[in-house]
Amino acid sequence: MKYIGMPMGMWVLFGKSFEGHLVSEFGFDRDTAKMTSAKAKPQYKKIIAGLPEFEKADRFKMNIVNCALLAAFVLNMPERPDVERLTAYYAGSMMTPAMKWFCRKSGKSKFTKKDISSMKAAERLRAADRNPYSWNMEFLPYPDGSGYEARFTACGICTLMREMGLYALVPAMCRLDYTIAEAGGTSDFFREYTLASGGPYCDCGYKKKREGR
């Protein structure tokens, strides 16, 4: 995968936030945080360079780029964090003001015809059949019309994190789904299983918020 484009843009958007939250979440002094960030950037570029290019229609490219960004920082921290602390760190680093704005904007289109069409297209694509760093997904509308479930049977994050020896930390990334849905403001997020915790699939359930909530 080429660094120029989305990967470079994600570093510009989130790199400083990931650095800053080393101080606020882990208690690093600022010099250690800067040093960690300085080491993470070439590591991030290296991870990106080792990934295949994603198909143009693959909507999950950003997910693997985010994973590469987090992994680069973790691999250069003085100590490996536990899942609980990394969950708070990842959420804090990702949920910048710009990201919150993006989530609110995306939330407004949740459950629209365009959103449903996009989910069905992702189901048909089955990108992980050709790219182990992508996802395969089933689109399962709820019979009562209250929303839908996106059920993932292949996960690119699991593949990449396992290769880097960070598989036990994948749940820290999974938890962000709740945070993003909450920031979107139009859906409640539900989950029973994740592949990372040994489940048969990852279920991402979205139900329409009722008026007044």
From CA 10, how far away is CA 57, in angstroms rounded? Answer: 19
| Average pLDDT in the chain | 96
User: Would you say residue 213 lies in a domain?
Assistant: no
Residue 1 located in a structural domain:
no
In a domain, 106, yes or no: yes
Question: What is the value of pTM for the model shown?
Answer: 0.95
Give 188-209 pLDDT, tens digit per residue. Answer: 999 999 999 999 999 999 999 9
Give SS3 for 151: strand
Residue 191 to residue 194: CA distance in whole angstroms: 8
Q: Per the domain annotation, does 34 fall within a domain?
A: yes
Q: Answer whether residue 168 is part of any domain.
A: yes
Angstrom distance (rounded) from CA 187 to CA 208:
5
Domain assignment of residue 16, given as a range: 6-208
Burial of 47: CB neighbours in 10 Å, binned 0-12, 13-18, 19+: buried
**CA gap 38, 43 in Å, rounded:** 9
Number of domains in the chain: 1
The type of residue at 37 is S
The 10s digit of each residue's pLDDT in 131-180 is: 999 999 999 999 999 999 999 999 999 999 999 999 999 999 999 999 99
Identify whether the C-beta of residue 163 lies closer than 8 Å to the C-beta of residue 169. Answer: no
pLDDT in tens, 81-135: 999 999 999 999 999 999 999 999 999 999 999 999 999 999 999 999 999 999 9
The full 3-state SS of 83-149, as one line of letters, equals HHHHHHHHHHHHCCHHHHHHHHHHHHCCCCHHHHHHHHHHHHHCHHHCCCCCCEEEEEECCCCCEEE
Residue 195 belongs to a domain: yes
Whole-number pLDDT of residue 211: 63
